Structure 1
């Protein structure tokens, strides 16, 4: 497992949208997601009936990028990792509380254990640029 630097953590904590990439049958799938950085992992909320969730069940290798594009001042953190599915238990409750506190959309449409999972992306490779 790779560790985020302090600058990477600060950058990741300053934003809330990323793009996650998964694959099925060698076909890439990318979509925007809400995320949190927690204890050297990236946590993403998803639903059971999504292509992302189906892909993770078949292939836990995932990439995610968090970035700000501003010409000449592009900043980003790109992560390749292995994803664990968290559907219930203590870890689920911890992630849910964090999402509930940060995101209004969670407070508007709450869910419980085994209703929608979290994806816990454990970094195997981290690249960042533009972070000062």
Structure 2
């Protein structure tokens, strides 16, 4: 399994927005999402009706970019991996609790098991840049 170094972990834990890329029938799809880092995986909440969810049901490959863009000082972590869909059970409850604690929008609009899944991106490759400069 790919592991994040200390600077990458610190950077990932400092942000809450990412962009996830999926595809279906060779058509790419990218959208902004909220995420958390949990045990060297990227966790994203989604809905069953989204293009992202539908794409991942047929093709579990995904890519996620977490970045801060400043001209000449761009910082980013790019992750490519396989996605597991977590809909219920102990892992769902654990992830839900993490999201509930971190995000106001979850506390405002809560959901239960099998109402909206989590996407668990297990990194197969990663690249980061700009993290040496603060």
Class of the TM-score when normalised by the shorter of the 2 chains: over 0.9
Which consecutive residues of structure 1, in runs of 5 or more, have no partner in the other structure? none
Q: For each residue in 1:20-58, what CA deviation from the matched residue of structure 2 results, as whole angstroms up to 9, or x when unmatched?
A: 000000000000000000000000000000000000000
In the other structure, the counterpart of 2:66 is 66
Shift of 1:71: 0.7
Q: Distance in 1 between matches of 2:6 and 2:90?
A: 27
Runs of 4+ in 1 over 6 A off after TM superposition: none
SS at 2:35's partner residue? strand
Residues matched between the structures, number: 132
In the other structure, the counterpart of 1:89 is 89
TM norm structure 1: 0.99
Which consecutive residues of structure 2, in runs of 5 or more, have no partner in the other structure? none
SS at 1:114's partner residue? coil
Counterparts of residues 1-132 of structure 1 (less than 5 Å): 1-132=1-132
Q: Distance in 2 between matches of 1:9 and 1:59?
A: 27
Give the RMSD, CA atoms, in angstroms: 0.4
TM norm structure 2: 0.98
SS at 2:128's partner residue? strand
